[in-house]
Amino acid sequence: MLLTATVVLSGCGGGSSTGSTASGAGSGAAAGKPHVLKVANYFATDHPQNVALREKFKKIVEEKSDGSLQVQIYDNSKLGAEKEFYDGVRNGTIEMGIPGLIMQADVPKMAVGEWPFLFKDFEHAKKVLQGPIGKEMTDEMEAKHDVHALAWSANGFRMFSSNRTIASLEDFKGLRVRMPNIPNYIKLGQLLGANITPMPISEVFTALEQKVVDGQDNPIATLKASAWYEVQSDVLESKHMFSPNLYIINGKLWSQLTPEQQKILEEAAKASADYEWELLEKSYEDDKKFLMEHGIKFTAPDESFQQAMETAAQPLYEEIYQTYPWAKEMVEKIKAEGK
């Protein structure tokens, strides 16, 4: 009887979840303890990413798993800047994260989502990223980094905020701009004529406040949520890049979960990401109104200025096409999806 009871109890412990991750999340399942999923990101608490995590992802996962999966949200770079928490997910010290495309140096196709002036609008970006092209972009990530992709979410169209008006390409000259430490970003900023200073997002407010830099580029939801409007005066609606994000989970932990748990996480990530897309797109006009009420001046580039920015970016595409034989076809496929 004792032997039988032991076998039965072992069978209720989560099947393949008996291994352990560096964080200990996997080791508890065999003893009947839930997997605790720390979800790290760099967004402010009231950003749509974290609203969706709280209102959709956490609720769906914990309810549908009957508590076998528990979600803890670590927003606002609490578990480190983007590179630190992405590396944490890779090595298993953090179970999940929502990074941008920080992995693109090792997984080149992941960079496609942030190539300049490529997406027309939210609908175009969502169609591409949540379809076969988005799947193609993430295919190599698991093999190279042991990170499993769950769903594409959105940061939005990036725009330049600054302490002076940018109304022409000439206005970029001498402008000290913070951009992420990603080669394509830095190259684009330089091609536009700015002086680029890479730094983690967690350091941006202080750098703007102390005038170490004159501006930065991010979607306006981030400008609002991070209160950078307190130390900026202008926004150029350049929409020079679309900035996606990705729900990811440590590959080893993923393999230890039951098929039922995997399905719950996939469905919850998709529902949460879809909700975040919706929130972000709907919030644009509200965010713009809020920022204008707080003294931010918006400048929409006219046709000649827009064309000048796109022309300035072309050497980056020429460099990309020379480096990656698949790149031109990928760009053509993405543009075709927007027609």
d(CA 235, CA 227): 14
For the beta carbon of residue 40, count every other beta carbon within 10 angstroms.
Answer: 26
In a domain, 6, yes or no: no
Conformation bin of residue 159: beta by default, left when phi > 0, alpha when psi is -120 to 50: beta
d(CA 242, CA 115): 8
Name the DSSP letter for residue 81. S
pLDDT at 29: 46
Residues in the chain: 339
CATH number at residue 74: 3.40.190.170
User: What is the token pair recorded at 323?
Assistant: 């480096």
In a domain, 321, yes or no: yes
In a domain, 96, yes or no: yes
In a domain, 306, yes or no: yes
End-to-end, the C-alpha distance of the chain in Å comes to 68
**Best CA proximity match to 298, nearest among 204, 176, 159:** 159
d(CA 313, CA 217): 16
Bridge partners for 95 per DSSP: none
Beta strands in 59-115 (DSSP E): 69-74, 96-97
In a domain, 1, yes or no: no
In degrees and rounded to multiples of 5, residue 47 shows phi and psi of -70, 150
Helices (H), 77-219: 82-91, 122-129, 132-145, 183-192, 204-209
> Does pTM top 0.85 for this prediction?
no
pLDDT at 32: 55
Along the chain (339 residues), what's the average pLDDT of each consecutive run of 10 residues?
Answer: 41 39 41 84 93 98 97 97 96 97 92 94 95 94 94 95 97 96 93 96 94 96 93 97 96 96 98 96 93 98 97 97 96 94
pLDDT at 182: 85
Quote the domain boundaries for residue 160.
18-337
Q: How many domains does the chain have?
A: 1
pLDDT at 225: 87
Task: Give the three-state DSSP class for 219.
Answer: coil
Name the DSSP letter for residue 272. H
In a domain, 41, yes or no: yes
In a domain, 12, yes or no: no
pLDDT at 167: 97
In a domain, 128, yes or no: yes
